[in-house]
């Protein structure tokens, strides 16, 4: 929506309405807005402007005797054309930096769990981080380690610095030389491929091998989906209590929807994955813009973080009455800090 559809006064009063409603959580009247702006605009003039904004679908009056609140369209206009991004305070930055510094040498999932905790605490909303899309990662190398006569440890490294291990049972005693040859041919044929490409083409790529252990390669082929996959469906979720403290969720039906969403993490994963394209820096989805009915009264602010070749999604879910300028900066900052932790 272009800002030209609103006069300067309409834009000013829409901004004032949004900011005050976000702070107060109650419909804002014309007298309140007049006082908030040091009586520079009379209540009568404000009432007339509010009628015009209502005609344009940007505000509504929930009850005849009440003040007005922004609509989803009003928030969208505010986000796109009016709001100024809010800088994080030094206290916020210290809290984030200290929280991530303490886990900087930990496993990826530990880092994401702590990041989500910090995100929810500072935003005072529901923080959500999806594990990286490891299927995007490129295969770097595979190691085969003999643990016992009929057990092998398969170690797979991808270029983002992540490692997966899996124990594999075989029904015969393989010679060390054959084990090394097999690892070598696997590394030659699979180098530079994504895990998805390996799963889709493994049998074809191994159809004409001239050395290595045929039986072992056949067993790996049968288990290729298990061996060359990393669970992409892990969700880090923090701050559930934050959302229930919001006055919007005093309504039992809205509480039920959020609980259903939290309980069904597949829906949550889909919502977050659908919210953001990889070429976008940040995405803000407001109210009815969400295709999922369970969050039609919520706003979702998401960003992409990177770990080497792979990406993941970080975001905040809360009521449409949200401090967009602050939360947007927060989500973007933490996404950047997570990415920085994994730069070699």
Per the rule left: phi > 0, alpha: psi between -120 and 50, beta: everything else, 192 is left
Q: 241 and 204 share a domain?
A: no
DSSP-assigned letters across all residues of 163-224 = EEEEEEE-SS---HHHHHHHHHHHHHHHTT-BHHHHHHHHHHHTTT--SS-HHHHHHHHHTH
CATH number for position 308: 3.30.450.40
Question: Are 128 and 141 members of one domain?
Answer: no
> 48-74 pLDDT, tens per residue?
999 999 999 999 998 887 899 999 999
pLDDT for the residue 338: 92
Of 63, 82, 101, the last residue of a domain is 82
Band of residue 3 on the pLDDT scale cut at 50, 70, 90: very low
Q: Do residue 297 and residue 333 come from a single domain?
A: yes
Question: Any idea of the CA torsion for 33, 38, 44, 50, to the nearest 10 degrees?
Answer: -30
pLDDT reading at 2 higher than 70:
no
Q: What is the pLDDT of residue 1?
A: 44
Residues 200 and 243 occupy one common structural domain: no
Q: Is the pLDDT of residue 87 over 90?
A: yes
Does 261 lie in the same domain as 178?
no
Output the pLDDT for position 233: 59
CA neighbor of 74 nearest in space, from 320, 260, 334: 320
pLDDT at 145 over 50: yes
Q: How far apart are CA 69 and CA 329, in angstroms?
A: 24
Tens digit of pLDDT for each residue in 208-256? 888 888 999 999 999 888 888 765 558 899 998 888 888 888 888 888 8
Percent of residues, the chain, with pLDDT higher than 70: 94
Provide the number of structural domains found in the chain: 3
Global pTM value: 0.79
* CA separation, residue 187 to residues 190, 192, 208, 226, 234 (Å): 5, 9, 15, 18, 28
Copy the structure tokens of residue 303.
Answer: 């960003």
Same domain, 104 and 243: yes
Q: Phi and psi dihedrals of 192, rounded to 5?
A: 85, -5
Quote the domain boundaries for residue 204.
135-227
pLDDT band at 149 (very low <50, low <70, confident <90, very high): confident
């Amino acid at each position: 929506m272009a800002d030209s559809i609103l006069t300067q006064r309409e834009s000013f009063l829409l901004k004032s309405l949004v900011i005050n409603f976000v702070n107060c959580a109650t419909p804002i009247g014309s007298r309140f807005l007049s006082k908030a702006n040091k009586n520079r605009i009379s209540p009568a003039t404000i009432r007339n402007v509010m009628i015009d904004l209502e005609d344009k679908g940007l505000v509504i009056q929930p009850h005849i005797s009440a003040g007005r609140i922004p609509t989803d369209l009003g928030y969208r206009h505010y986000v796109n054309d009016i709001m100024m991004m809010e800088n994080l305070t030094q206290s916020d930055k210290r809290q984030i930096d200290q929280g991530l510094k303490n886990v900087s040498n930990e496993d990826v999932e530990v880092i994401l769990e702590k990041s989500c905790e910090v995100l929810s605490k500072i935003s005072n909303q529901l923080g959500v981080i999806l594990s990286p899309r490891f299927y995007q990662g490129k295969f770097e190398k595979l190691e085969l380690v003999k643990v016992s006569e009929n057990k092998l440890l398969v170690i797979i490294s991808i270029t983002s610095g992540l490692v997966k291990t899996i124990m594999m049972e075989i029904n015969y005693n393989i010679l060390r030389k054959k084990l090394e040859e097999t690892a070598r041919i696997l590394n030659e044929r699979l180098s530079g491929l994504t895990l998805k490409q390996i799963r889709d083409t493994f049998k074809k790529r191994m159809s004409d091998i001239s050395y290595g252990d045929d039986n072992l390669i056949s067993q790996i082929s049968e288990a290729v989906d298990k061996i060359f996959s990393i669970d992409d469906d892990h969700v880090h979720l923090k701050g559930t209590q934050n959302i229930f403290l919001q006055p919007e969720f005093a309504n039992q039906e809205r509480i039920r929807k959020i609980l259903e969403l939290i309980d069904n993490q597949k829906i949550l994963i889909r919502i977050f994955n659908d919210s953001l394209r990889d070429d976008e820096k940040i995405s803000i989805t407001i109210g009815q813009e969400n295709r999922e009915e369970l969050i039609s009264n919520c706003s979702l602010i998401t960003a992409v973080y990177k770990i080497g070749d792979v990406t993941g999604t970080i975001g905040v879910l809360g009521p449409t009455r949200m401090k967009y300028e602050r939360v947007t900066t927060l989500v973007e900052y933490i996404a950047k800090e997570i990415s920085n932790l994994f730069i070699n």
